[in-house]
Amino acid sequence: MLFGYDNLVKDFKRLVDGRSLSHAYLFFGEPETGKFLFARSLANYIETGKFEEPARLLNETLTIDFSRDLKEPDSNKESIGIDAVRGLERFLYQTAVLSPYRIVIIRDAEWLTDQAQNALLKILEEPPQKGVIIITARDKAVFLPTVASRMQAIYFKTLSEARIIDFLSRYGKISPVKAKTVARESFGRIGRVKGILNGQESKKEITSLVKEVISSKSTNKKMLEDIIDKLLKIFDKSPESLTIFFEEIIGIIRPLAKKNPRLCENINQEIVRMESLAVNRRIHLKNILWTIKSILSDSL
């Protein structure tokens, strides 16, 4: 359910109705803020006139979900996205029959390799007249500058605790006391609210492993390597759980940001690097966990 973006909905309705959409949009912001849901709702409005999550398969919309593709055991992480990007050009250049535009939604585009981004760039340089590409990602920095400059960037901000409580009071069916607790732990993200209410098993496991590192007074190299092994297995089995890991880390460093702004910025940079498939995640996981542990030790 789309919530908290009323003004943005009005703006995009006006653009669609006036046939004034840009050729490419980048919906970026922290995980679970509704970027993908908004993109799907926009595509539904273009085809059916209703700004809501589609109730059926849309004929004029192609959705590419790279995080889902990574679950396949035979997926090639070094070239992910290249074939899909080459294929979307054929889709976009076909004539739309049921709506004024053909839409391509690329979800979690931080998984795109440089090779795939260069293929995308060729399309962005010569976009089809009635084709629109909507890309969702955590950060603009994961894209090549030439690619980022050709997309209109829309930032999806987190919501205040008051807005989250408002959402829960309407749709959560939970007590006011629990609503306040969920709102505090949600970091302003409706998607995280749903995850908390559903009690994700992977979240519990990741939270436990992170706490094991930062709370232990005698974290040694072997213990850290064992925990990293467990985290990497979780990420391989369920790529979207990487987002849950980021959530836990961000939740830990937020209260420390004022005292250690530079170290916290280093952690944020490591998180961005981990979203690239070309990096050694083990190295960055180790850097993130050791940096947080050092911050917490210094603050004692």
Q: What is the pLDDT of residue 68?
A: 58
The pLDDT, as a whole number, for residue 134 is 97
For residue range 168-224, list pLDDT tens digits in order.
988 877 888 888 988 888 888 888 887 777 655 567 778 788 777 777 666 677 888
Cβ neighbours, 10 Å, residue 194: 15
Q: Identify the pLDDT of residue 129.
A: 85
The model's pLDDT over 284-299, given as tens digits with 9 standing for 90+, comes to: 788 888 777 776 666 5
One-letter identity of residue 201: E
pLDDT for 79 equals: 43
CB 234, CB 287: distance < 8 Å: no
Angle at 138 between CA 134 and CA 144, to 5 degrees: 70
Can you list the residues of the chain whose pLDDT is less than 50?
A: 70-71, 73-80, 277-278, 300
Predicted local distance difference test score (pLDDT) of residue 295: 67
131-137 and 61-65 as β-strands: parallel, antiparallel, unpaired? unpaired
Contact 249, 295 (CB under 8 A): no
- Confidence at residue 76, expressed as pLDDT on a 0 to 100 scale: 45
Whole-angstrom Cα distance, residue 207 to residue 267? 17
- Gyration radius of the chain over CA positions: 20
